[in-house]
Homo-oligomer: A and B are copies of this chain.
Amino acid sequence: MNADYVRKKFLQIHQNLIQSLFQCDSKVVKQTEQWNRSEGGGGKTCAFSNGLYLEKGGINFSDVKGSKLPPTALADRPELTESPFRAMGVSVVFHPQNPHIPTAHANIRFFTATDHNGGDVWWFGGGFDLTPYYPILEDVIFWHKEAKKLCDDFDESIYSLFKKQCDEYFYLPHRGETRGVGGIFFDDLCLNDFETTLRFCERVMAVYSSSFFTLFDKRKKMPFTDHEREFQSYRRGRYVEFNLVYDRGTHFGLQSGGRTESILMSMPPVANWIYDWTPEIGSKEEDLYENFLKPVDWLNLKS
């Protein structure tokens, strides 16, 4: 295990994502900020806005140290209470303008901590998920096919597990809805060994990038209406609710004294709330609610 080697790899992934975005949307405006945290470590935030197709987005790298793991990171590891730690991550959110392109999020993270006997503990986490407004079934199936291929290359049992974890994690209990159509999500991960697990995380980001930009390119010129933009804005409200009420990454960031503007770069450009809104029967909006915002086995659909 070599944390500085992980850092190098994560920075490379960060760079690759930025390049891929510029290839698909050369007009997008980039703002970069290097930041430091008083307790130790820092990060690099790249925020994007006003592209031809990307309305708002962010690609963040962070590498922070602390004397005590925050509560959000301790849920599954109570034995590390009060442990010094180092947490590294790359996280990405893209909010395209066109309501026919989904919002897409991914992150990978690496933790090291010292347990009470002075031993080193490490684990990886990460995943990606897709949040369509006007979902296109073939795109959703493509997204999950790519995810499954990636997982199968490492272990044929993990896709179904990570897919289930994603549906469970990106769930809004107060709405009775999933955030979108999911993808994969994993935490406390060690696949065989350190090298294999790191390689898996690298592939997670590469597949996220290739899958998302494939959909982005395919749908970016689809015409859309004001009504569709309004609905996108309404649904972006759910994205805000998830990130602020439930997301562990957001809470970890705020609890560990991270840089607020970097943590909240995941917010959409705009969000609406309309009291007690329900979709019209037979509409495309109802199709989203009825057929997509729940756990579905996308690769074994019954027709």
Contact = CB atoms under 8 A, between A and B. Distances in A.
Interface of A: 31, 33, 47, 49, 56, 58, 173-175, 233, 237, 240-241, 244-245, 254, 260-261, 263-265, 267-276
16 contacts: A31-B275, A31-B276, A33-B276, A47-B276, A58-B275, A173-B254, A174-B263, A233-B270, A240-B271, A241-B264, A245-B245, A261-B276, A265-B275, A269-B273, A270-B270, A270-B273
Contact of A254 (B31, B47, B49, B174): B174
Nearest to A33: B276
A254 B173 CA distance: 9
Closest 6 CB pairs of A and B: A244-B244, A267-B273, A47-B275, A174-B260, A261-B276, A174-B254
Contact of A271 (B173, B254, B265, B270): B270
Number of copies: 2
Contacts of A237: 267
A292 to B, nearest CB: 19
A264 B268 contact: no
A265 to B, nearest CB: 6
A270 B272 contact: yes
Contacts of A264: 241, 273
A61 to B, nearest CB: 16
A49 B275 CA distance: 9
B275 A268 contact: no
Contacts of A265: 275
B175 A260 contact: yes
Nearest to A251: B245
A245 B261 CA distance: 15
Nearest to A254: B174
A274 B175 CA distance: 26
Nearest to A244: B244
Nearest to A250: B245
A31 to B, nearest CB: 6
Contact of A275 (B240, B261, B274): B261
Nearest to A260: B174
Nearest to A273: B267
Nearest to A233: B270
A278 to B, nearest CB: 10
Contacts of A268: 273
A47 B271 CA distance: 19
Nearest to A253: B174
A47 B237 CA distance: 18
Nearest to A268: B273
Contacts of A274: 49, 269
